[in-house]
Chains A and B, each alone.
Chain A
Amino acid sequence: MSEKYFLKHIDRPESNTLAFYLQQGGYRTWKRVLQEKSPEQIIEEVKRSGLRGRGGAGFPTGLKWSFVPRQSASPKYLVCNADESEPGTFKDRYLIEREPHLLLEGMAMAAYAIDSRQAFIYIRGEFAYGAQTLERAIHEATEAGLLGKNIQASGYDLQITVHRGAGAYICGEETGLLESLEGKRGWPRLKPPFPATKGAFGCPTVVNNVETLVNLPVILSLGADRYAAIGSNEKNTGPKLYCLSGHVNRPGLYEFPLGKNLQELIYQEAGGIRKGKKLKAVIPGGSSVPVLRADEIDVAMDFDALVSRGSMLGSAGVIVMDEDTCMVKALLNLATFYSHESCGQCTPCREGTMWMKKILSRIEHGQGRPEDLPLLEDIARHIQGRTICPLGDAAAMPAASFLKQFRQEFIEHIEQKKCPHSK
């Protein structure tokens, strides 16, 4: 059993109170850091820890922070991305509802490192309970002098504000998020400029995922070296949450070092496939990443190993599909999601996602044509890499991979003029 950092208190419903958190030694590291470390030292330490962002792209966190200008006349902002809406992903929600102080402590460290005095938590609108929990935790921590003005007599101020979204997946994309935070439509921005130089309200901004931020107290209490020893290699370090859903016996949230073997995760930890069925496919990193066939899952769940396997770690939302799953229907489901969530700015994403959905719906309902398959591939190819934000890619990649990995199923639908799985 590897040590747990995030799910340690999963059996303790009171884990979200300050009293409980303090009792477990919480905020001790924050106080020490505030006294002993300069922002530069924290950034250095985080760089050495090898921490990569848990929001999906795996960008090195310390490096991201170092892009924020040291000297800046305008304020700087830290934004915690708590919009968690990726299908198959439910890790941030747990952290918010059950470990809010761990998140606040991590945010305090990140904010201090980039010299931000105002931080925001952009939380998905549906997380009403989470937002309440965070508000209460912020209140508690501020009352206790751990946040707010002149924290621990250090001269450093930090205010954390919770901002609730209105239920759009695209507001999880960091620049769509910033637009929404500013009160505008959640339309992702053209980059450059990147948020580090021009983010919220035109000021330098760091956007980090919830899970990224909760790693900071771990890094700063263990020290970079001990932290970096966790994980599969020096490029994939630290503890990691995995969300298992679909046709497994024990779906749910799991914590292991980064690089846990996917096959072990499914068969040993999650108890294998339901009802003794055979595995057909796994989407390892949330709905946006390419799908793996059952024979491809002996792979480490880390950023690089999955890329070599043709997929991605993404949000580590592992979606498991058994032999009875209709892959056309599964892809139709994804296409419906992306066409619904496209913000509509970019032509290929706005038009292409809906077109793909319509074609897939036809195929699923027995009206497919042989030429639909190359057409779908063409549409996906014409979306990919040609949009403002990665949602376009996220819609295109699964389509391309489903068609490649499970082409025979699509052909069967077309030849039999019906879904072979439907009764």
Chain B
Amino acid sequence: MPTLKIDDKEITVEPGASVLQAALANGIEIPHYCWHPALSVAGSCRLCLVEIEGSPKLQLSCATEARDGMIVRTQTESVKDARKSMLEFFLINHPLDCPICDKAGECLLQDYTWKYGTSHSRMVEDKRERPTKDLGGNILLYRNRCVLCSRCVRFYQEVVGDPYLFIEHRGYHSDISIFPGKGLTHKMTGNIVEICPVGCLIDKDFLFHARVWNLQRSKSVCPGCSSGCTIYLEHKDRRVFRIRNRENPAIGQQWICDDGRYLYHRYENLNRPESPWTRQAGELKPQTWEQAMIYAVEALQKNPGRLAAIGSAFASCEENYLMRKIFRQILGCEYLSFYAPAIEEADTVYRSGFTIRGDKSPNRKGAGLLLGDQTDFYQAIESGRITRLFLINGDPLLHLTLEQKRILAKLQELWVLDIQSPEWDSVAAHFWPIACFTETQGTFVNAVGQVQRFQRALQPPQGVRPGWEVLLDLLARLAPGAGMLSAADVLDALAMEEPAWRSISYFKLGDQGLPIESR
């Protein structure tokens, strides 16, 4: 493996790595725009120039392979001079409208100019001016801010595999564009906003909603499909403002799709009660959690023969595990299964391999491993095998058909734990409001078997509790002394019991997660 020196620091890299990669991997910053780890090398922004001993001219660090014995300098006067002049070139036609630019605070033109540039312009001529263009979907192109790094163009070519974006005109007039009559399609548009190093590509969904430095980030996992892309929930004031890609090399999904990016809106206006309710004489009567629990502990223990429990592909592993623990191990129910939506579309695989799954649930695999095969519990109710049901859901798009409601109405008693209640108002006997994925924590197992952790971003509203906490409460009342206090404890207990989770602990999962063991 080649060993080189960058600024007197000895660095060993994988063969084939570029000088830029070698530097970045070792905490040496070399400013760059056009280079992006997931895209081909363009070598056009010319910002990453460095001095390499033996070369009379400055060399592109992004396009020069790190070779054994190389001596690289990134802080010499000539490198500094090149950076400064390059930033001047970038800025002469830039509108300097940071105060009204969404990218401010996470903009590489701001950051680099601050660190490597100058604060005054020597250009007295008029700037190039071009009106902002709507590219379709949520994407706006603030053309005056473009640094023409071509990342967005290469993204569509190389990752999506459909060259929707291109550079129109030539030289000074070069301009990002789309083909006439074709808006940006593919559910990948939001990614170009993220990879744009400046505020040229802007997402209408976020535009003027917040300044990025006021946002807090929580590490989460997208529940949009079984790919389970890792994401950041960016939030403030008890509200999610946007979802950003949190790259996870372990699952090979370097991006997120637009379904996932904008899916937080589904959880914004959940229609849910402020406390559990129970049906009394046809009326939905609010209850305290304490009342609901006391009643349930007593009622569930009675006559568990025809009691069934249904987990969910939208519930975390912890929740599904607690369902099993309570209903199989403690109460001895026979019928356990889980809810998952029907798969109605094929997987979409883009050129880079990025996949949007047809399975629109985040934890079908985890629920299946813990609760066995998905079975048709409606049929079991119809046949009288199940007379009482305890069910957890979590799917914000759940819609019960009239037929399903008819069947559910046959039950003697139905407990529902869900993030909203309207679908259940006519059929449930007891409704317990639980937190949605932005308000709770836990793990999902994605389609390829990666166990991944998601963090809580928001407090659940008053009266709403995380599902795992509710189930843990119920468990503690049914079988005191289980010793679990947190979601992390639940996962660790699960891992002790389930062979597939053998090598996993909450702590070990880290940000990238771990694969379950296949038997």
Contacts and interface: CB of A to CB of B under 8 A. Distances in A.
Interface of A: 168, 185, 190, 339-355, 358-359, 362, 375, 378, 382, 385-388
Interface string B37-79: 0000111111101000000011010010000000000000000
Given A344-B174, A386-B49, A190 B43 contact: yes
Nearest to A358: B125
Given A340-B171, A347-B89, 6 more contacts: A342-B172, A352-B89, A353-B172, A362-B125, A386-B86, A388-B43
Contacts of B169: 344
Interface string B168-185: 011111100000000000
A408 to B, nearest CB: 23
B47 A347 contact: yes
Contacts, number: 85
A385 B81 CA distance: 13
Contacts of A340: 171
A342 B173 CA distance: 10
Contacts of A339: 171-172
Most A CB within 10 A of own CB, among B60, B171, B173:
B171
B122 interface: yes
Contacts of A387: 46
A343 B123 contact: no
15 contacts: A168-B170, A339-B171, A341-B171, A344-B148, A344-B167, A344-B174, A347-B46, A348-B46, A348-B86, A350-B89, A351-B93, A359-B125, A382-B85, A382-B89, A387-B46
A86 to B, nearest CB: 17
Interface of B: 41-47, 49, 57-58, 60, 63, 81-82, 85-86, 88-90, 92-93, 122-123, 125, 147-148, 167, 169-174
Given A359-B125, A385-B58, A342 B167 contact: no
Contacts of A352: 89
A350 B172 contact: yes
A371 B478 CA distance: 85
A355 B88 CA distance: 11
Given A351-B93, A382-B89, A346 B46 contact: yes
A385 B41 CA distance: 19
A183 to B, nearest CB: 13
Contact of A347 (B90, B125, B173): B90
Contacts of A343: 170-171
Given A382-B82, A382-B85, A385-B58, A344 B122 contact: no
B156 to A, nearest CB: 15
A354 B172 CA distance: 7
A352 to B, nearest CB: 6
A342 B86 contact: no
Nearest to A186: B170
A340, A350, A385 — most chain B CB neighbours (10 Å)? A350
Contacts of B82: 382, 386
A355 B85 contact: no
Contacts of B173: 344
B63 A355 contact: no
Nearest to B58: A386
Nearest to A190: B43
A350 B125 contact: no
Closest 4 CB pairs of A and B: A344-B174, A382-B85, A342-B171, A351-B89
Given A385-B57, A385-B58, A387-B46, A348 B172 contact: no
Contacts of B63: 190
Nearest to A371: B122
A354 B44 contact: no
Which residue among B43, B44, B125 has the maximum number of chain A CB atoms within 10 Å of its CB? B44
Contact of B46 (A185, A362, A378, A386): A386
Given A190-B43, A344-B148, A351 B125 contact: no
A87 B174 CA distance: 23
A198 to B, nearest CB: 14
Contact of B86 (A344, A347, A358): A347
B185 to A, nearest CB: 23
Nearest to A362: B125
Given A343-B171, A344-B174, A355 B123 contact: yes
A168 B170 CA distance: 10
A375 B86 CA distance: 14
Nearest to A387: B46
A344 B170 contact: yes
A386 B48 CA distance: 11
Nearest to A187: B44
Contacts of B89: 347-348, 350-352, 355, 382
B431 to A, nearest CB: 60
Nearest to B88: A382
Contacts of A362: 125
A375 B172 contact: no
Which of A339, A340, A386 has the most chain B CB atoms closer than 10 A to its own CB?
A386
A17 B144 CA distance: 55
Contacts of B92: 351, 355
Given A185-B167, A190-B43, A351 B172 contact: yes
Contacts of A341: 170-171
A382 B83 CA distance: 10
Nearest to A359: B125
Contacts of B81: 382
Contact of B171 (A350, A359, A378, A382): A350
A362 B167 CA distance: 30
Nearest to A391: B171
B262 to A, nearest CB: 33
Contacts of A351: 89-90, 92-93, 172
Contacts of A388: 43-44
B90 A344 contact: no
Contacts of B88: 382
A39 B452 CA distance: 62
A341 B171 CA distance: 7
Nearest to B33: A347
Contact of A350 (B58, B122, B174): B174
Nearest to A374: B122
A355 B85 CA distance: 13
A132 B60 CA distance: 42
B51 to A, nearest CB: 12
B168 to A, nearest CB: 10
